Amino acid sequence: MRYLSTRGHADRKQFCEILLEGLAPDGGLYLPESYPQLDAARLQALRQVWQSRGYAGLAFEVLSLYIDDIPAADLKALCEKTYTEAVFGTPQIVPLKPLQAAGHARPEMFLEALSNGPTLAFKDMAMQLLGNLFEYELARRGEELNILGATSGDTGSAAEYAMRGKAGVRVFMTSPNGRMSPFQQAQMFSLLDENIHNIAIDGVFDDCQDIVKAVSNDLDFKRQYKIGTVNSINWARLLAQVVYYFAGYFQATQSNDQKVSFTVPSGNFGNVCAGHVARMMGLPIDRLVVATNENDVLDEFFRTGVYRVRGTADTHETSSPSMDISKASNFERFVFDLLERDGDQTKAIFGEGLSRQGFFDLSGDPRFAQAATTYGFDSGRSTHADRLQTIQQVFAAYGMMIDTHTADGVKVAKEHLNPQVPMIVLETALPIKFASTIVEALGREPVRPPQFEGIEQLPKRVQVMPADVAQIKSYIAQHCD
């Protein structure tokens, strides 16, 4: 298996090379040269693996289709080390939770519980594996890695909890100053491990993401300080997320001649891009529904064909803050496929074109007209009022408390239900991470896991800095000496 850049760079690399690299040398994102195809026999074999060997076994089989430069026994051991009941709190790792009202013959939809990991968010599903992969590969090479990341809320804590204490790894995590929930901030800033560095940027998430890309595109600095990434621009993280689409499908169906749909709360397009990869492999997915909040750049694209980046002043601060994103980095991977893998055209629109114009328009491209049919995408948006109403409705009808981002997903999923096709909404976080909105909706505090009691009162370590690439580089260099 070899990997190529979405922007047409000539290099073809193996998995472990891009694991530590992040962006391609031309600023593109890595994708496999082709997606492994699953015939009926192979899909049935994967269902049997799920039934007999559980999530860790399924992860090994799916990852093995993309990773051929880690010995099979080692990869199997890494999966078994990562996906345990002790880490994720349940033997199924990602159980389906039916939203089924009393007296109804079948569920209205399912929630796939992805938030049982150490930081109570779906990012743990990939980040726990990524931490073990980094430690394994760095030890094998005798090298160190400095991870530069950007978070709108959940990536940061998931990465830091996965990397804390890991040999050979330092984490420099940028986040928008004051724009995460108090719980999210406390999860990150209360980590005092020497290899963890929190940097609060005066700006929005997109400013943080731009810094990560700018540093990653400075190839001399990147090589000198061995800079890697944990954002979903890193293919390894997105690949790990592909697994739970298979797990959700096998739980919602009895046989492989059935289809399911997924609704995915989306900001940076990484979570739903993993679903796109699973569908391209042959997993029987009917629709992939992209649910946005008021920052609806992705919904606008799927409705109109226009991708229009918002500036800092036009990026709304919402009650589903992890989706307060107006530059969806992973979207480039899907557009590359949409454009029939034309690296030159992808480079033209995502490189200078997007930075110069602030938008691109594919509405007149016949390939966009076929996108909904060929790739199965639908979309919708949700507002603060919608979130409150959905949280109230789900609690009243099903006795279940959901977080604000999952509420965005449920609201949009209701607009795309098909009685013949089960709908799975990806749960993205537990309600405690966004307690103030839960209290606003339900008049009660969400359940707080015992290990997080008093977390907001713990000592914190964070450096507040302007959105200045040069200053971030200087900070990294200073703390790598």
pLDDT at 172: 97
Token pair in block for residue 406: 């999952």
What fold, for 96-118+236-442? Answer: Rossmann fold (3.40.50)
At how many degrees (to 10) do helices 40-64 and 72-82 cross?
Answer: 80
Long-range pairs, 333-336, Cβ under 8 A, ≥24? 333/6, 333/29, 333/31, 333/238, 333/269, 333/273, 333/276, 334/269, 334/273, 334/276, 334/375, 335/307, 335/362, 336/6, 336/29, 336/31
State the DSSP code for 62.
H
Instruction: Tell me if 232 sits within 8 A of 268, measured CB to CB.
Output: yes
Distance separating alpha carbons of residues 43 and 368, to the nearest angstrom: 29
Tokens of 478: 């200073």
Which residues are designated catalytic?
123
Residue 261 bridge partners (DSSP): 423
Between CA 371 and CA 59 the distance in angstroms is: 29
DSSP codes of every residue in 353-382: IHHHHSEEE-TT-HHHHTHHHHH-EEEEE-
Helix pair 182-189, 154-163: axis angle to 10 deg: 20
Which residue, 374, 283, 243, is CA-closest to 40? 283
Calpha distance 2→18 (Å, rounded): 10
Q: Where are the domains of the chain?
A: 96-118+236-442
Q: What is the mean pLDDT of each run of 10 residues along the chain (481 residues)?
A: 97 95 90 98 98 98 98 98 96 96 88 96 95 94 94 90 91 95 94 96 93 92 91 91 98 97 95 98 98 97 95 90 91 97 96 87 92 93 98 96 98 97 97 96 94 93 97 95 69
Q: What's the CA gap between 333 and 351, in Å, rounded?
A: 13
DSSP lists the bridge partners of residue 378 as 289
Q: What is the pLDDT of residue 103?
A: 79
Q: What is the DSSP string of 182-200?
A: HHHHHHHHT---TTEEEEE
Strand-pairing partners, residue 109, are 99
pLDDT at 288: 98
pLDDT at 270: 94
Cα–Cα distance, 316 to 221 (Å, whole number): 33
Tokens of 169: 């790894």
- Beta strands 30-32 and 359-361, pairing class: unpaired
Q: Encoding tokens for residue 240?
A: 């790990």
Beta bridge partners of 171: 147, 196
Burial call 1-10: b when 16+ CB within 10 Å, e when fewer? bebbbbbbbe
Question: Residue 351 gets which letter from DSSP?
Answer: I
Instruction: Give the number of residues written for the chain.
Output: 481
Give the pLDDT of residue 21.
84
Helix axes 40-64, 235-252, angle to 10 degrees: 140
Tokens 């896991």 — which residue?
A: 449
Q: Which two tokens stand for residue 113?
A: 């519980």
3-state secondary structure (DSSP) of residue 464: strand
- Phi and psi angles of residue 302, each rounded to the nearest 5 degrees, phi first: -70, -20
CA atoms within 13 A on the CB side of 364: 2
